[in-house]
Amino acid sequence: MAATKHRRTALERVEKFLSEIYFTDCNLRGRLFGDRCPPASLSCFQTPRRIPYEEAIGQEFTPARVGDSFGPTWQTCWFKVELSIPPAWAGREVHFVWESDGEGMVWRDAQPVQGLTKEGEKTNYILTNSLRETEPHSLTLYVELACNGLFGAGKGSMIAPPDPDRRFTLSKAELVIFNRDVYELLVDLEILLDMARLLGEENQRSFQALYAANQMVNVCNVMDPSTFPTARDLAAAIFNQRNGESQHTIHAVGHCHIDSAWLWPYEETIRKCARSWVTVIRLMECNPELTFACSQAQQFEWVQSWYPGLYAQIRDFVAKGQFIPVGGTWVEMDGNLPSGESMVRQFLQGQRFFQEQFGRICSEFWLPDTFGYSAQLPQLMRGCGIRRFLTQKLSWNLVNTFPHHTFFWEGIDGSRVLTHFPPGDSYGMHGRVEEMLKTVKNNKDKGRVNHSAFLFGFGDGGGGPTQKMLDRMKRMSDTDGLPRVQISTPDRLFSVLEKESSQLCIWVGELFLELHNGTYTTQAQIKKGNRECERILHDVEVLSTLAAARGGVFRYPASQLQRLWRLLLLNQFHDVLPGSCIQLVVEDALQYYSEIRSAGARLQEEAVQALCSELLQPKAGSTESTLVLNTLPWERTEVISRTGPAGTEALALVTVPSVGYAIVREPLLPPQPVAVRKEEDGSVVMENGIIAVCLDTMGHLTSLRLVDSGRESVLDGCYANQFALFDDVPLYWDAWDVMDYHLETRKPVTTLLKPLEITLAGGLRGSARFSLQVGKSSTLTQEIILDATCPYLRFLTQVEWKEAHKFLKVEFPVQVRSTNATYEIQFGHLQRPTHWNTSWDWARFEVWVHKWMDLSEHGFGVALLNDCKYGASAHGNVLSLSLLRAPKSPDATADITRHQFTYAVMPHLGSFQDAGVIQCAYNLNFPLHVVPASSAQCPAWSAFSVSSPAVVLETVKQAEDRPEAVVVRLYEAHGSTVVAWLQTSLPVKEAMLCDLLERPAAQGRLLLEQQGVRLSFTPFRVLSILLVLRQ
């Protein structure tokens, strides 16, 4: 008999029938497991190290019990579990259930077979689907338990520093009978209940689903499984009612975002990859339709090294098209801070790895969790064989909602890539009705495209997809009232989007994340290590290439360079370089930088010895001289410091040709020496014929004039080089965020410890030093340096930093009026507003920059250069460089140490392009190399030069696959269309254009002419040239 139904009681009736908490003695959920049986024996041993299986099983195991606790944090416990399945369970599905708050891995027959993580809803390892007499009833498993959770071991909150004393409890270890028919019915009811709840009272499908679920409860006797098929038929009747043709299609792809390091160290990530990926392989064996997108070549390489058996299985499923490598990069790197060349190497190392291992490169760039995306990325993607891009991070914007989910993204050079943000705004979906409905409702490009991505699986700390997620989506494949859901691949999705792309909108310029802009400054030592190591690898490659090209016995150190590059690329991961990681990770990262520094210094010395061996050999009657090497593509005249005859440091003015060297015996005399004088009021005046500066006793810049024109840079009554301290307490993400309201707490630094004193009285160099107290207990000492012939003033800064939740910046109020400031990015620059007219403008109150920023009006401007800083802002007429932060989570010790860095200020006439700001910023970051020599005079030598100042020769390296060829990479830096000649003294027999993966371009052959090689550039274009040398 039909009864009228009260919607709420009907809903709650079904909820209680499924509840894990209420009425489990008589509801369906309580019947999921049948009989239980403890292990025949359980024993363990504990180690502070992450050791291989072979070593672990040879240890002495002692008895253990369910309920025992293990630890502390980061320890590993190995359990030996001996199981005996009762014969009475014949014909039943038997699971081994393991619950603990650590991350587990089951080993069977010396192979990893299943990850076990309660937080990732994986607590069962299926021993048999139907126990047969012929199957072994007694077996031994090992469980490797990491004493950390899916998200590390934060004390009190997820992102708090790890609790070093946390203990991890084993709460369950048993054999159970798993009632598969109960499970299937539970999933049916869960989907119907969600449809009833979420489709809303105005939708008739909501009532159809509710009445079907209610009727299922009526017909289902939980004690009598023979009633289950009738109940399941009722569900199937709903699920089999099909959609109309216009319904949105969701492309579901399994995914498991694994941070290469974050709230756990690199070494734990290796195990997270194995735990997650072996579980995916088990799922694929049972679900041949399952696809799984997996990024980061580094993680594949780790698993290949540490788990070769698992890696072989992964390769099989890659070949079947189920396990799908994506992304094309070495790691999912930060999208803002790595240099242009570093970004190229992310793709070069990643794509080459995927090609070597799997026979193909990736066709989509995959960066779902990075804190903003450089406007140069589209060109770099295109140059690496990629035309498609997937992310979702801009859904985290604090201020403005990004207006698209599917669109074309155009970079600063005009390159475009098809870009898709999964409209569910997540890469960790669980296959629920609610997420499907959000995906459709939230899609900003309705009417333009009718397909979208849905990435399902536990992520960040690993975990990946579960069987239940797949089973939910099977029921939703084509059910009226819900979007169509199909297990798909990134390629299938993007191929459909490409067909539908005629109506898509275009977004031009950077994809700026309006959040996490503290990451441009946090962990300053990591930022400095990154910039320094980028420089070291650049210089080693240039000098090694020249040494190898000279012939002789020197061999280009390709394998050592690859190892060092991969360490640097690993540290560019999007929670390491940004500084949003725990102390253990910071220690690892600094250790890797230290390895790159020491190995790089050795390789550089070997290259210089080979390149200049004639000049470095002591010869009879030779006198002391100095070899000076320049790795930049323009001639430089600079003051260097060299060791004099008596072993003392002496200054010399030298001129060195582009990408080459010169021997210096008698230094040049400056056209105008630096004059330094102290005024009666204690202020210091310095002048070098180009700029004249006046400094007060506190180190403020009170005047900065261009000598020839007399143009003043500092605003009347203002101080430049003004340090300011801000309160820095974000809403939650401590290491990540600096909030707009920090600007309301500005306090100028005014406590003088040592007033300004002259330290070098002029000639080739003038300098003055002072010290300030910053905040409660920090000190800052600065040497302000002016060199002969140099157009900028340098500030060599040392800070003993001991603050908490403070932000230190230095400010330059300048006499320039412009609505936009210019910031260097990878292989180019872009403009951002200096006003806060709109919410899009003020959301960029703190931005990122590379080596320089500039504020110019017509005919005049001021640039700020730096050697290792990335955070900056320009508001009104104030240029500000962000120096240090002091967050307390997830690393309580972040930045509390001694820091040294240099920045510089450069006033100029005309545009920053014509004034050479770009070249000066390179010069500051790439010092000349000075080596004692013994040779007499020797002509200066230059390997490369470029005819146009608009074109920068960024990279000189040996080709990856051709030892007899050199790759040079150049880019147009001014934002202009220009023809440039590349000249070289190397014995080139053939030149051709190639892409960023060093594949020769069709019709890419270049003529070798008297003036060199002719190259055509449009604004910010990056060109790579393959030069084949005569042997």
What positions carry a catalytic annotation? 369
Backbone angles phi, psi at 657, to 5 degrees: -70, 170
Closest to 832 measured CA to CA, from 873, 883, 877, 863: 873
3 state SS for 705-734: EECCCCCECECCCCCECEEEEEECCCCCCC
Place of tokens 């990056």: 1022
What is the distance between the alpha carbons of residues 513 and 370, in angstroms, rounded to a whole number?
Answer: 9
The two structure tokens encoding residue 532 = 């320094």
What is the distance between the alpha carbons of residues 149 and 402, in angstroms, rounded to a whole number?
Answer: 33
The answer to whether 86 and 39 have CB atoms below 8 angstroms apart is no
Closest to 245 measured CA to CA, from 406, 447, 480, 493: 480
Residue 196 belongs to what H/E stretch?
helix 180-198
The two structure tokens encoding residue 832 = 């951002």
What is the distance between the alpha carbons of residues 962 and 967, in angstroms, rounded to a whole number?
Answer: 10
User: What number of other Cβ atoms are within 10 A of residue 684's Cβ?
Assistant: 22
Bridge-based pairing state of the strands 249-255 and 451-456: parallel
The answer to whether 814 and 855 have CB atoms below 8 angstroms apart is yes
User: What number of other Cβ atoms are within 10 A of residue 92's Cβ?
Assistant: 19
Length of the chain: 1031
The two structure tokens encoding residue 576 = 């390491």
DSSP conformation class of 751:
E
Bridge-based pairing state of the strands 249-255 and 484-487: parallel
DSSP conformation class of 273:
H
The answer to whether 87 and 37 have CB atoms below 8 angstroms apart is no
For the chain, the distance separating the N- and C-terminal CA atoms, rounded to the nearest angstrom, is 95
3-state secondary structure at position 598: helix
DSSP string, 338-360: S-HHHHHHHHHHHHHHHHHHHS-
Contacts of 391 (CB under 8 A, 6+ apart): 366, 367, 368, 369, 370, 373, 419, 421, 511
The two structure tokens encoding residue 818 = 């412009």
Q: Is the CA virtual torsion 567, 572, 573, 579 positive or negative?
A: positive
Q: Hey, which residues does 800 pair with through a beta bridge?
A: 779, 898
Interhelix angle 266-286/467-475, rounded to 10 degrees, is: 40
Alpha helix stretches (DSSP H) within 375-432: 377-383
Residue 972 belongs to what H/E stretch?
strand 965-972
Q: Hey, which residues does 857 pair with through a beta bridge?
A: 860
What is the distance between the alpha carbons of residues 911 and 818, in angstroms, rounded to a whole number?
Answer: 13
What is the distance between the alpha carbons of residues 318 and 431, in angstroms, rounded to a whole number?
Answer: 23
Q: Is the CA virtual torsion 1001, 1007, 1011, 1017 positive or negative?
A: negative
Residue 509 has, within 13 A of its CA and on its CB side, a CA count of 7
Place of tokens 């609505």: 819
What is the distance between the alpha carbons of residues 1026 and 982, in angstroms, rounded to a whole number?
Answer: 12
The two structure tokens encoding residue 330 = 């070495």
The answer to whether 315 and 359 have CB atoms below 8 angstroms apart is no
The two structure tokens encoding residue 447 = 């009417």
